[in-house]
């Protein structure tokens, strides 16, 4: 059984990953900690609560940092909608968030469950970086750390060409995490682009008579249109869902690469780049397991199940 703490900034792709985790028979979501990123913290918290209500679970939701640690950053509302969920005007959840700060909840839950939790980081790493500064011993308490972020050969998705959004939103936080954590399982943006799936298949999943599929069809409309217009008219890409698949079923990763990775903080064109020592020239111990290839058929099956379609 995987016991998951999901740090997230929902966000349409986060929503699919969260649905996947709650649908998996071998997963228990202990908590969701919330960061700003795709949109502001008020919206990402509201969206997490709406997902919990949709799923019908009592997963606690802990709001965290409303801004990056050092410098401000642009959100991704142009992809996800101003509210992060496609601006469809869904009714807010009836329940509220917890009062404990996300970073403090991370520390408390790790201490209460030593060696048991998998942290799945789907957002900028602000909350985890703050937790690490409060307690540098945190990595010893966590079973696995899975991070969605980075672009390991420099093909990112921001105007700073080699930079991916989650790392680029808060490079200082990412630098803290990658400098302190001994072994991180990374699912980067380039892996996301290798694991696209047909829009026609996805449209079939979200057209069926399931509350999760219908909700996701509504909130993802703006994002689907953006992807078809600006990225790939035939294939959908789901970064956070791929990271969740790796967290849930690491044995389905067909190719791993173990290398040292550090985060660039100062370059005018490269701030937030994830620099990988592919040829192992710097003599530093590897700190990152990079998921290069996940079994595509299983990834698609997990997404279908997340939307209520058993056996697809």
Place of tokens 């308490």: 141
Structure tokens at 25: 């028979």
- What pLDDT digit, counting tens, does each position of 278-292 carry? 999 999 999 999 999
Dihedral sign computed on CA atoms, order 9, 11, 14, 20 = positive
Higher pLDDT pick, 117 / 202? 117
- What pLDDT digit, counting tens, does each position of 154-177 carry? 999 999 999 999 999 999 999 999
- What pLDDT digit, counting tens, does each position of 223-263 carry? 787 777 776 778 888 999 999 999 999 999 999 999 999 99
pLDDT band at 294 (very low <50, low <70, confident <90, very high): very high
Cβ–Cβ under 8 Å, residues 49 and 96: yes
State the pTM of this model: 0.97
Distance in angstroms between the alpha carbons of the first and the last residue of the chain: 23
Q: What is the mean pLDDT of the segment spanning 20-38?
A: 97
The domain covering 2-306 belongs, at the CATH homologous superfamily level, to Ribonucleoside hydrolase-like (3.90.245.10)
pLDDT band at 202 (very low <50, low <70, confident <90, very high): confident
Instruction: Give the whole-angstrom CA distance, residue 3 versus residue 144.
Output: 10
CA proximity to 167, closest of 186, 180, 183, 182: 186
Helix, strand, coil content of the chain in percent (nearest 5): 40, 20, 40
Instruction: Give the whole-angstrom CA distance, residue 290 versus residue 147.
Output: 10
Structure tokens at 254: 């067909």
Asked if pLDDT for residue 86 goes beyond 70, the answer is yes
pLDDT on residue 77: 86
Asked if pLDDT for residue 186 goes beyond 90, the answer is yes
Helices then strands, counting H and E runs in the chain, come out as 13, 12
DSSP string, 105-158: HHHHHHHHSTTTEEEEE-S-SHHHHHHHHH-TTGGGG-SEEEEE---TTS--SS
Instruction: Give the whole-angstrom CA distance, residue 110 versus residue 139.
Output: 9
Structure tokens at 89: 């005007």
Instruction: Enumerate the domain spans of the chain.
Output: 2-306
Bridge partners of 27, per DSSP, are 2
Judged by average pLDDT, the poorest of 66-75, 187-196, 197-206 is 197-206
- What pLDDT digit, counting tens, does each position of 137-156 carry? 999 999 999 999 999 999 99
Asked if pLDDT for residue 68 goes beyond 90, the answer is yes
- For the chain, list the strands marked E by DSSP: 2-8, 27-34, 61-63, 117-121, 144-148, 184-187, 197-198, 235-236, 253-259, 261-263, 274-276, 288-294
For 40, 125, 272, the CA distances from 267, given in Å and listed in that order, are 26, 20, 8
Range 172-208 burial, b when 16+ CB lie within 10 A, else e: bbbbbbbebbeebbbbbbbbbbebbbebeebeebbee
- What pLDDT digit, counting tens, does each position of 98-129 carry? 999 999 999 999 999 999 999 999 999 999 99
pLDDT on residue 100: 98
Q: What are phi and psi of 235, to 5 degrees?
A: -130, 140
């Amino acid at each position: 059984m995987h016991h998951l703490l999901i740090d997230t900034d929902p966000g349409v792709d986060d929503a699919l990953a969260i649905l996947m985790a709650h649908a998996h028979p071998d997963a228990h979501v202990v908590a969701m900690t919330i960061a700003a990123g795709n949109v502001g913290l008020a919206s990402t918290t509201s969206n997490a609560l709406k997902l919990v209500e949709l799923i019908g679970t009592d997963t606690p939701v802990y709001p965290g940092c409303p801004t990056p640690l050092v410098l401000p950053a642009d959100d991704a509302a142009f992809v996800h909608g101003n509210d992060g969920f496609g601006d469809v005007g869904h009714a807010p959840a009836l329940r509220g968030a917890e009062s404990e700060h996300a970073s403090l909840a991370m520390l408390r839950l790790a201490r209460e469950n030593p060696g048991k939790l998998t942290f799945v980081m789907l957002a900028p790493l602000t909350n985890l970086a703050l937790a690490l500064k409060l307690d540098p011993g945190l990595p010893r308490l966590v079973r696995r750390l899975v991070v969605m972020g980075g672009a390991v050969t420099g093909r990112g998705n921001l105007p700073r060409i080699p930079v991916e959004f989650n790392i680029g939103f808060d490079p200082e936080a990412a630098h803290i995490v990658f400098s302190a954590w001994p072994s991180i399982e990374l699912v980067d943006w380039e892996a996301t682009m290798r694991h696209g799936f047909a829009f026609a298949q996805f449209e079939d999943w979200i057209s069926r008579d399931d509350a999760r599929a219908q909700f996701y069809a509504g909130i993802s409309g703006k994002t689907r249109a953006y992807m078809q217009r600006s990225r790939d008219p035939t294939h959908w890409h789901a970064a956070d869902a791929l990271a969740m698949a790796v967290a849930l079923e690491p044995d389905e990763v067909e190719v791993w690469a173990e290398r040292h990775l550090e985060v660039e903080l100062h370059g005018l064109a490269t701030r937030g780049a994830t620099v990988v020592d592919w040829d192992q020239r710097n003599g530093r111990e590897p700190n990152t397991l990079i998921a290069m290839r996940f079994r595509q058929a299983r990834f698609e099956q997990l997404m279908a199940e997340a939307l209520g379609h058993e056996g697809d």
